[in-house]
Chain A
Amino acid sequence: MAQTSDRDLVLRARGGEVDAFGEIVRRYQTSVFNVCYRLLGERRDAEDLAQEAFLRAYSRLRSYDVERPFGPWMRTLAARLCLNHMERHRADPLPLDEESDRLAAGGEGPEGAHRATERSEAIRQALLTLPPRQRAALELRHFGGLSYAEIAEAMALPLTDVKSHLFRGRRSLAERLRDVV
């Protein structure tokens, strides 16, 4: 039996079928949670913000263009919500000493999976050291696949600022990940 399309689910949810929106949540909750987790670094906060993102999406279903893919729209909304959360709570980047301890905690171990896990953890921690806007810009570019112009619209920033955030964020990451990449 063919799976119901996102478009049909959204139209049904607009018509008041809450269960249709529940199916949308089930489909996208993991990817939305990961957007929040990459940006916030805390599992509980990420779950809470992911839930808030779905509630906000529900309240904005009528303004959503059903001809556009739902996933990118949903993840962009979540990223914007997380950015507002970070700026409101003035999330500070992790101190370098703390970051070094985390990276050093991996220790020796078997090759392959352990190294891949360490690498992933190093990348995550490096992302969390970035200021909120750089983090959000990288999230939308590398995980959301948005163009510079789309990122500028999503973050309500001039194009030049977006380029600056991406450039500086990547430069910082490159310096931190030189031994990992």
Chain B
Amino acid sequence: MSSDLEPGHLTDEDLQSYLDAELGETKAGWAAAHLRTCAACQERATFMQEVFQALSGLPEVRLGRDLTPGVLDRIGSVNEPSPRWRLLVAGQALAAVFLAAWLGRGAALDWISFAAARLQAQPSWLVEILAWSKTGGQELWMEAQAWVGLGVQALARVPEVTWTRSLSASPVVFGALLVLWLGGNGLLFIPGIGRAGRTL
């Protein structure tokens, strides 16, 4: 298949483009007209068409095994969040709980006292549990304060929010913040986010 042709003949590239139906309209028209009259180009075109047909007619080879189980297994492992992502989510959960406790410690103690006072007529065991909760809770808050305070001082100052029992919106606010946090972290578990194959 020589490209050293006399002027006026189809080049190999134009011949192939013509056979691929990729020549522009004008050039294709010229090529068709030329092939009708030029025996040499006809012979080249015929041979190239046979090469095209030999390629396109190459039979398929049988696949030796079913790839489906392997593919589905790896899809399953890809969809699971990686351990690092799980730790990140767990860490955020703990931090959120401590932060909420830190901000609402006053209100929490208030509610415990309020509940204890309202339930004074209730069985003594319940009153004891509530009283213990208040005492134990106070000790726990003091302990948590020491740790959380250290962390807070290292970051920007977290103002103490003064809540009172009359602020019925406080549970709603905390609940809304919790929902927002859960929703944001829930996005990590959508396929394609936080996958095991991704590097954290």
Q: Residue of A at shortest CB range from B195?
A: A59
- Report how far A31 CA is from B61 CA in the complex, Å: 9
B51 is an interface residue with CB less than 8 A from chain A:
yes
Interface residues on B, range: 35 or more
- Contact partners of B75 in chain A: CB under 8 A: 18, 21, 55, 58
Whether, in the assembled complex, B56 has its beta carbon less than 8 Å from a beta carbon of chain A, the answer is yes
- Which residues from A are CB-within-8-Å of B1? 171, 174-175
Tell me whether B54 and A170 are in contact (CB under 8 A).
Answer: no
Prevailing SS type, chain A contact patch = helix
- In the complex, B48 has a CB within 8 A of chain A: yes
Residues of A106-160 at the interface with B, using a CB-CB cut-off of 8 Å, are 119-120, 123-124, 127, 138, 141-143, 147-148
A123, B13: Cβ atoms closer than 8 Å = no
Instruction: Name the residue on B nearest A16 (C-beta).
Output: B191
Whether A181 pairs with B60 at a CB distance below 8 angstroms is no
**B74 contacts chain A at the CB level, 8 A cutoff:** yes
* Contact A51-B12, Cβ < 8 Å, known A30-B62, A181-B54: no
The answer to whether B67 touches A123, judged by C-beta atoms less than 8 angstroms apart, is: no
> Residue of A at shortest CB range from B192?
A59
Is A163's beta carbon under 8 Å from chain B? yes
**B68 and A38 contact, CB distance less than 8 A:** no
Question: Residues of A contacting B54 with CB < 8 Å?
Answer: 119, 123, 177, 180-181
User: Which residue of chain A is the closest to B76 with respect to CB atoms?
Assistant: A18
| B13 A163 Cβ-Cβ under 8 A | yes
Do A25 and B55 have beta carbons less than 8 Å apart? no
Contact residues of B with A, CB < 8 Å? 1, 12-13, 16-17, 20, 22, 47-48, 50-52, 54-56, 58-68, 70-72, 74-76, 78, 191-192
| Nearest 6 Cβ contacts at the A-B interface | A142-B55, A25-B68, A33-B63, A54-B71, A34-B60, A181-B50
